[in-house]
Amino acid sequence: MRIIAGDLRGRQLKAPTWEGLRPTSDRLRETLFNILGPSIRDVRVMDGYAGTGAIGLEAISRGAAHVTFVDADVRATRLIAENLERLSTVPRDRYVIIRADLADAARQAGEAFDLVILDPPYTANSVERALDAAAPVIGPGTRVVIEHARRSSAPDAHAGVVLRRRVVAGDSALAFYEREG
């Protein structure tokens, strides 16, 4: 795993050593950030179900102002910390790591993010559950992107957001949502 582009381009990331964590592929991350383009610059990002932290680290590399990494698994939050340590040039004030369930972290956040990127486990209704959990941090201008299994459909609307775009890459898909109205 590596950072695809930006200030940290080419830097290697540590991968998980345990079963059950499915890191987003370099190819899918590249697709995601090519779609987001320069709109990632200077925004506040929540990387939910962060796992290795690769998505949030890519956002930092491409100019995000701040990333909040959220994962309930202590092994994942340690891995994110290790990856940030490997990238010692990332100032501490540009990120925070929260070990908590996404719903709990979102309730405690207190304000909306500009961009929420979620990569929940590929299970039935995972997109809907992820949108419900993230609802407290989705404001009028928030963009939400959810990675999900290609075989699972993303709802056209749920929890106050509407599907604007869906991109399929291999066995995975990205669903892009925005607040209704």
Q: What is the mean pLDDT of the chain?
A: 92
> Average pLDDT for consecutive 10-residue bins of the chain (181 residues)?
83 76 75 95 97 94 97 95 86 94 95 96 91 97 95 93 95 94 70
Q: How far apart are CA 100 and CA 74, in angstroms?
A: 9
Which domain covers residue 112, as residue numbers?
26-179
**Beta-strand pair 161-169/172-179:** antiparallel
**32 part of a folded domain:** yes
> CB-based contacts of 29: which residues, under 8 Å, 6+ apart?
4, 54, 55, 58
- The model's pTM: 0.93
Judged by DSSP in three states, 95 sits in: strand
The answer to the question of residue 150 being in a domain is yes
**Structurally, how many domains does the chain consist of?**
1
The CATH number of the domain holding residue 145 is 3.40.50.150
Residue 4 is assigned to a structural domain of this protein: no
- pLDDT of 176: 98
pLDDT attached to residue 180: 84
Asked, for residue 78, whether it belongs to a domain, the answer is yes
Report the pLDDT value the prediction gives residue 12, as an integer from 0 to 100.
82
Return all residues near 65 (Cβ < 8 A) that are at least 6 apart: 42, 43, 44, 94
